[in-house]
Amino acid sequence: MVFEKIFAFLMSVFIAVSASLATVFPERVPGYDGIAVPADAPNTLPVYEEGTEMLTLIADGASDYTIVYGADATHTEKLAAEELQRYLSQITGVTLPLSSDLADAKTHEILVGRTARAADAKITRPVADEDSYTIAVLGETLLIAGGETRGTLYGVYDFLQDFFGCRFFTPELEVVPQQRAAAIPKNTDAANAPAFYFRHTSWRSAYDTRWRSKLHLNATMSAGHGSVDESDTKLILFGAVPGHTMKDFVPPEVYFEPHPEYFMMTEDGRRDPTQLCYADPAVLALAKQTIAKWIAENPQANIFSVSQNDGHVSCHCPVCGVIDEAEGSPSGALLNFVNQAAVYADTLRPGVLIHTFAYQATERPPKTIRPAENVLVQLCSIGNNHSVPYTEGNPQFCEDVKTWAEISNHLILWDYGTTFSCFLTPFPDLKTLQPNAQMYLKNGAQGYFMQGNRDSKSAEFGELRAYLIAKLMWDPYMDFDKAMQEFLYYYYGPGCSNIEEYIKLIEANRREFFRVGSEKMEFVDLNVFDLAQAEAWFDACEAQTLDTAQLEHVQRSRLQVSWYKSAHLKAEFFPLNPGRVAENRKLHENLLKHNITYLHEASPMLEKPNYYKTAASWNQ
């Protein structure tokens, strides 16, 4: 016993000394929160060809470089200069001075954003609200400059990522490798622009304003989705309600009784409050009233939604029905209506976009009606098979993307990275994310929203998904496997190959067809042997993880295995096991311990679930 205690004490001293040494400039060793990680960690640092001429910005704890921003810099450009100063200080221990361009020019300057320096004129600058940027070395000067609204800030974060190996995995987990020197190739002249104009996800990570900038997510559809004002980068912002807005224009509880004619006619001639009738001029007048109010109340928003209610039915009245018949899709009558609203909105605020869904009944584009110039169409993949890339499993959807892109000035997508009916189910679609992003780009989409679990932390792979999807939205051809391996290592620790094995297992056992919204949990089939193997992998990963944050990540992610067993009555959750009720209680306690409070979209987990029932029924 005594020997063990002495040994443990000596080990703790050894670890503490190693850690404190490691925080003092380990030679090109990737760091994790300032503590060196084992040599098998993925190397995030760039590798240059031998003989590459380098421009040294900082060496041996000293530098004569100044970070310069414009005297009339935007809020974001100033923030970009400050972020560069902060991270270079973390990397090298040297804090470079910050100065505006009113100071006399020096030989050694890092110019951030638009400045009055001569070098600024030598780059092609995008318009202010574009997200592109240039990183260039001009003589002894380094220049990082792009669109003034967001581009320059994105340039700084990518500079830290590409030249110094920084990684911004989650709002809480960053890798900032420490180095004695900061140097970049003298021939650096890189222009970078996003593949998609509109980039947005509702995974929890993206609710952190600064992380969103680091990953270049630039849009939001919900007012609660982080900062939207001058305190940070301006976003492409939806005003008021972001979707399914017809019910806001004509609430059924107010109008259905006195005016059933405002609402859709079913195929057998009844009026039904699910959708509106788009042919009644009074309906358009009501919509205009609300649009005018929203535009007046939301001066910062640049998109307002005029979109169908949820559901897959449409109006069959003599007017709507005839239009839709001729157009080959219920998108005909809807678009006719949306176009009129869009023309009206433009008279109130020129340039404003009117958003509408191509969703369920209206997914197929109309034959001849065209969206007005300022209509933003958002096509939703709600009915798609997520088991294989859309090009393989959903050719009609891919055609629809292409056609909508051809006939619209503005087309974005609504895609799903989880099923909102059971967030904890293993959702084996990771392999499809990259081919789908590439298809969107090839077929002319201008961006997309990826729906995640916005309600609570993820016990599946939400943080990984948020990171990967943000990267894909910027560049669908990025090195997906490398990005995933780096994430898994730093998020789950040195035992992360076990998590990779688990991901492969659920992919190998996925259903041939699965789609979101299904309440039947028909996504993946795991037998008791698979589940025992999954638990063994998570055990092995836990055993190799020393970091408390990483341990929390492993323990939270493995809850999906327990949830699966409970929901499907397998292994220790088998009905005949007398311990099943106790296992359910333990699962519930573990979910709460890891802040998992939603198993189903917008429906909180019960405070006191019935432990005789499976975890699939614990929603309110």
Which residue, 277 or 516, is less far from Zn ion as judged by CB?
277
Residue among 320, 469, 499, 524 that touches Zn ion (CB under 5 A)? 320
- DSSP states of 172-192 as a string? S-EE--B-S-EEEETT-EEEE
The angle that helices 430-442 and 395-407 make with each other, rounded to 10 degrees, is 30
The H or E element that residue 411 is part of is: strand 410-416
Which residue, 318 or 578, is less far from Zn ion as judged by CB?
318
Q: Least distance (Å) from Zn ion to the CB of residue 610?
A: 45
Q: Least distance (Å) from Zn ion to the CB of residue 319?
A: 5
The angle that helices 497-508 and 430-442 make with each other, rounded to 10 degrees, is 70
Residues 510 to 569 in contact with Zn ion, rule: CB under 5 A: none
Which residue, 315 or 439, is less far from Zn ion as judged by CB?
315
How many residues make contact with Zn ion (CB under 5 A)? 5
Which residue, 320 or 441, is less far from Zn ion as judged by CB?
320
- DSSP states of 193-262 as a string? --S-SEEEE-SGGGGSHHHHHHTT--EESSTTSS--STTS---EEB-S--S--HHHHS-HHHHTTT-GGG
CB 126 within 8 A of CB 146: yes
Q: Which stretch binds Zn ion (CB under 5 A): 64-72, 146-154, 278-286, 481-489?
A: 278-286
Residue 547 has phi, psi (to 5 degrees) of -80, 135
The tally of CA atoms less than 13 A away on the side-chain side of residue 584 is 23
Residues 155 to 194 in contact with Zn ion, rule: CB under 5 A: none
| 56: β partners | 183
Which residue, 55 or 315, is less far from Zn ion as judged by CB?
315
> According to the binding rule CB under 5 A, does residue 376 interact with Zn ion?
no
Q: Least distance (Å) from Zn ion to the CB of residue 289?
A: 20
| Distances, alpha carbon 315 to alpha carbons 322, 329, 362, in Å | 10, 11, 11
The H or E element that residue 451 is part of is: strand 447-451
| 62: β partners | 59
Residues 75 to 104 in contact with Zn ion, rule: CB under 5 A: none
How far apart (Å, rounded) are the C-alpha atoms in residues 47 and 185? 11
Which residue, 144 or 265, is less far from Zn ion as judged by CB?
265
Which residue, 145 or 279, is less far from Zn ion as judged by CB?
279
Residue among 81, 112, 303, 317 that touches Zn ion (CB under 5 A)? 317
| 35: β partners | 32
Burial of 438 by CB count in 10 Å (0-12 exposed, 13-18 middle, 19+ buried)?
middle
Q: Least distance (Å) from Zn ion to the CB of residue 312?
A: 16
Q: Which stretch binds Zn ion (CB under 5 A): 196-204, 272-280, 478-486, 519-527?
A: 272-280
Q: Least distance (Å) from Zn ion to the CB of residue 135?
A: 55
Q: Least distance (Å) from Zn ion to the CB of residue 263?
A: 9
Q: Which stretch binds Zn ion (CB under 5 A): 26-34, 198-206, 313-321, 558-566?
A: 313-321
Rg (CA), the chain: 27
Q: Least distance (Å) from Zn ion to the CB of residue 314?
A: 8
Which residue, 330 or 365, is less far from Zn ion as judged by CB?
330
Residue among 277, 505, 559, 616 that touches Zn ion (CB under 5 A)? 277
Q: Least distance (Å) from Zn ion to the CB of residue 320?
A: 3
Which residue, 198 or 337, is less far from Zn ion as judged by CB?
337
How far apart (Å, rounded) are the C-alpha atoms in residues 528 and 570? 7
- Provide the pairing of β-strand 198-201 with 447-451: parallel
Residue 528 has phi, psi (to 5 degrees) of -60, -30
Q: Least distance (Å) from Zn ion to the CB of residue 281?
A: 12
| 190: β partners | 135
> According to the binding rule CB under 5 A, does residue 250 interact with Zn ion?
no
In single-letter form, the type of residue at position 136 comes to A
Residue among 55, 279, 441, 488 that touches Zn ion (CB under 5 A)? 279
Residue among 57, 315, 341, 506 that touches Zn ion (CB under 5 A)? 315
Q: Which stretch binds Zn ion (CB under 5 A): 164-172, 320-328, 519-527, 591-599?
A: 320-328
List the one residue out of 238, 251, 469 whose CA is nearest residue 357.
Answer: 238
Q: Least distance (Å) from Zn ion to the CB of residue 614?
A: 44
Which residue, 276 or 352, is less far from Zn ion as judged by CB?
276
Which residue, 278 or 461, is less far from Zn ion as judged by CB?
278
How far apart (Å, rounded) are the C-alpha atoms in residues 537 and 501? 8
Q: Least distance (Å) from Zn ion to the CB of residue 400?
A: 23
CB 117 within 8 A of CB 105: yes
Q: Which spans of this chain sit near Zn ion (rule: CB under 5 A)?
A: 277, 279, 315, 317, 320
